[in-house]
Amino acid sequence: MQQVNIFQAKQTFSALIEQIESGQESEIIIARNNKPVARIMPFVRREKFPFGIAKGKFEIPDDIDKHNDEIAEMFETL
């Protein structure tokens, strides 16, 4: 992990990004007066879950809405 001050980060921003992209650095800390204030790290895309991934894995009970009125009343009393 590398730490750079803000001035240096401004001057070498493209090079810092290249270090992250290439995997040379896993994160770079940006500091002001040697106190960390920000972090540059790789952007990780999360995989989208296919719609209906749990289809057939469980059954919804017939009385699932049985307590809706009680729950709504709890929110109204807050």
Per-residue pLDDT tens over the stretch 6-55: 999 999 999 999 999 999 999 999 999 999 999 999 998 877 777 887 88
- Asked if the structure places residue 10 within a domain, the reply is yes
- Asked if the structure places residue 69 within a domain, the reply is no
- Asked if the structure places residue 45 within a domain, the reply is no
pTM for the whole thing?
0.58
What's the pLDDT band for 78 if we cut at 50, 70, 90?
low
- Asked if the structure places residue 16 within a domain, the reply is yes
Instruction: Please name the residues in contact with 41: beta carbons below 8 A apart, sequence gap of 6 or more.
Output: 20, 26, 27, 28
| CATH code for position 6 | 3.40.1620
Count how many residues are written for the chain.
Answer: 78
Could you tell me the residue range of the domain that residue 11 belongs to?
2-40
- Asked if the structure places residue 60 within a domain, the reply is no
Domain count, the chain: 1
- Asked if the structure places residue 49 within a domain, the reply is no
- Asked if the structure places residue 46 within a domain, the reply is no
